[in-house]
Amino acid sequence: MKEQLDNILKEAQDSYYHIKNLKDLENFRIKFLGRNGLLASLSSKFKDFPLEVRKEIGQYFNFVKEEINNLYLSKKEFLITQKKIFFDLSHPGEKIEKGRIHLISKEILKIKKIFSNLGFNIEEGRELVSEKENFDLLNIPPNHPSRDLWDTFWINKKEYLLRTHTSAHQVEYLLKYKPPVKFIVIGKVYRHEATDQRHEMQFHQIEGVSVGLQSNLSELKSVFQIFFENYFNKKIEIVFRNSYFPFTEPSLEVDISCVICKGKGCSLCKKSGYLEIAGAGMIHPYVLQQAKININKYYGYAFGIGLERIIMLKFNIPDVRLFHSMDLRFINQF
């Protein structure tokens, strides 16, 4: 009897490896564990044995039955999970988190497109520049009080610094291209100052430079008009005001009509109807000379626009710190 049970177990173990699908599995169950299966037919012979032998054989019988049942269950689980993975199309998939392009990067792409349609070359420069590039070449000598306009992150005992403005690349690209030329430099700048709703230590600027036979303030005004109307997708009025920068003469502060109230006065523009949007001016002859440009022949204008500021106006974003807050509720809206 024990030998017969061993043979059945061995046969079950062998056929276990040949079970390929649920149908094979069911045949396996019927053959070994079914009501008329091999085990059941053996158990019917128990009554022929004396009681003591019956007890011993009974235990062994139960052991074999359990072994075969375990084989059955483990194959069943394997086949079902395999079926789920490969065949159950209705089985819900795992959610995959997708990243997306940050709002600032998206807007940079749009801005580059508008300026490149206006004939500007697109540049990015470097974030680490020399003192000479950021200040001296721009008519801001050492110890000049106007250096205080830019709170600077110095590196290596004042040799290098994190650019405080994209103007740091004006001379570099004028030397590279030679006039007549138009280019923008768009990228991160750094200022060592306290942060609040409208100020961050790190932000972006769009620097525009045009040098040519007729690069003048009326062309600058048209460039602003076309750029802002394209960017905000509405009619915009441009206003120039007097200002001061060491590297432009005359220097201007540029206002646009308020994007919300269109000049009537609201809380965004503090009832003035206008928003400060850029610094600009005719490039100072000193700067043109640093770029080896003949100042009797060529004129140039330059401007600097704060990128976060115009994105905040376009999307009605109340606090500049949200851009780098890593708050997905903010980022995922765009």
Footprint of ligand PHE (CB under 6 A):
165, 167, 207, 245, 248, 279-281, 302-304
- Tell the smallest beta-carbon distance from residue 253 to ligand PHE (Å): 9
Report how far Cα 149 is from the mean position of its chain's Cα atoms: 32
- Tell the smallest beta-carbon distance from residue 133 to ligand PHE (Å): 12
- Tell the smallest beta-carbon distance from residue 164 to ligand PHE (Å): 7
Please name the residue that has the structure tokens 């094979």: 24
Nearer to ligand PHE by Cβ, of 167 and 290: the residue is 167
Are 109 and 170 spatial neighbours (Cβ–Cβ below 8 Å)? no
**Residue facing ligand PHE at closest CB distance:** 304
Nearer to ligand PHE by Cβ, of 28 and 135: the residue is 135
- Tell the smallest beta-carbon distance from residue 306 to ligand PHE (Å): 8
**Residue 270: other Cβ atoms inside 10 A:** 11
- As a whole number of angstroms, the distance between CA 1 and CA 265 comes to 103
Nearer to ligand PHE by Cβ, of 165 and 309: the residue is 165
Instruction: Give the list of residues 6+ apart from residue 225 with CB closer than 8 angstroms, or none.
Output: 236, 238
Give the length of the chain.
334
Nearer to ligand PHE by Cβ, of 65 and 309: the residue is 309
- As a whole number of angstroms, the distance between CA 6 and CA 72 comes to 17
Nearer to ligand PHE by Cβ, of 61 and 203: the residue is 203
Q: In terms of DSSP bridges, do strands 121-123 and 181-190 run parallel, antiparallel, or are they unpaired?
A: parallel
Nearer to ligand PHE by Cβ, of 229 and 276: the residue is 276
- Tell the smallest beta-carbon distance from residue 154 to ligand PHE (Å): 17
- As a whole number of angstroms, the distance between CA 66 and CA 3 comes to 17
- As a whole number of angstroms, the distance between CA 68 and CA 62 comes to 10
Q: In terms of DSSP bridges, do strands 248-257 and 128-130 run parallel, antiparallel, or are they unpaired?
A: unpaired
- Tell the smallest beta-carbon distance from residue 278 to ligand PHE (Å): 7
- Tell the smallest beta-carbon distance from residue 236 to ligand PHE (Å): 19
**Edge-to-edge strands, sheet with 160-162:** 128-130, 160-162, 154-155
Which residue type occupies 108? Answer: I
Nearer to ligand PHE by Cβ, of 5 and 137: the residue is 137
